[in-house]
Structure 1
Amino acid sequence: MAANLPESNSAPSDPRWRNFIIAMAAIALAIALSLGFRTQTPTTTLETLATKAVPIDVAVNNGKPTLIEFYANWCTTCQAMAEDVSKLKTEYGDKLNFVMLNVDNTKWLPEITRYRVDGIPHFVYLNPQGESVAETIGEIPRLIMAANLDALIANSSLPYAKASGQISAFAPKIMPSQSNTDDPRSHSSQVKSEN
């Protein structure tokens, strides 16, 4: 006894057959879209990187070179680079420190001022003694960052020390007061009163 299957010569005109094909195509499309969106979603977030970062006070004192990233959660450029920074951390994490400083946290205002952060992401490369040897700003391709990290680890000049890319503008909300002598870019002179 045969099941109620459409005959081969009437299959294309049978509405049940056509509905079956449409349903299968819809299922295949849904699976393809689901997989496509899943592969495009970044798996690394800035928060994840920040929680796994080395504290700055440890980094400047442990004798290893350091990469500091100034970032913000709202920074789309920072978000776009998170996956690459995570891969670099996996590759270089045993040879150097990765420090993440959120510019929205006023705790980091002295560092923001010291390194003159006015756009993010802002990367500062520190030698093993904790001294700044180069800075880059904006979205930097992973290969360029890797070349800089290789040079930093080798204690050589960074090949892309002045690299820059797309940034998110940033201005600190509060600036610490400085005397004119503290700022080498200040051209005003102090006047002493004689009384």
Structure 2
Amino acid sequence: MLPFSELIQLEKPVLVDFFATWCGPCKMMSPILSDLKKRMGDSISIIKIDVDKNPATAASYQVQGVPALLLFKEGKLLWQQAGVVPAAQLEKIIRQYTSL
């Protein structure tokens, strides 16, 4: 698997879910992200990053709370939000920021 710094350089949009195993709202994001992947297919990549196992990566993006969602394309951070976001809203955001 590619390192995080290379994964976010992809041409297609990459949605990163910063989560923690102990976080209730984070557990709610898993089925939402599965739904989003079904909606958008291979047009996006979705990556989950455990903040407890990757504190430096989380800190480098000022992730204060989890779940935190960050949208990258070609290495650029396009959008960032903490909290649970419904799949339909995420799809709309991704399409708005990436012109998919």
How does the TM-score come out when normalised to structure 2? 0.85
The residue aligned with 1:121 is: 67
Q: What is the alpha-carbon distance in structure 2 between the residues aligned to residue 55 and residue 95 of structure 1?
A: 20
Whether 1:137 aligns to 2:82 is yes
For residues 1-195 of structure 1, the aligned pairs below 5 Å read: 56-105=4-53, 108-127=54-73, 129-154=74-99
Gaps in structure 1 of 5+ consecutive residues: 1-53, 156-195
Q: Which amino acid aligns with 1:79?
A: K
Question: Aligned to 2:43, what secondary structure does the other structure show?
Answer: coil
SS at match of 1:126: strand
Question: Rg larger in 1 or in 2?
Answer: 1
- The one-letter amino acid of 2:58's match is I
Gaps of 5+ in 2: none
* Superposed displacement of residue 63, structure 1: 1.6
The alpha-carbon distance between structure 1 residues 90 and 73, as it changes in their structure 2 partners (threshold 3 A), is: same
- AA paired with 1:89? K
Q: Which has the higher contact order (CA 8 A, sep 6+)?
A: 2
SS of aligned partner of 1:118? coil
Percent of aligned pairs with the same residue?
Answer: 24
RMSD value over aligned CA atoms? 2.1
SS of aligned partner of 2:59: helix
Q: Secondary structure at the match of 2:79?
A: strand
The residue identity in structure 1 corresponding to 2:85 is I
C-alpha change, 1:75 and 1:110, in structure 2 (3 Å) is same
Residue correspondences, number: 100
TM-score by length of 1: 0.46
Q: Is the 8 A contact 1:68 1:123 kept in 2?
A: yes
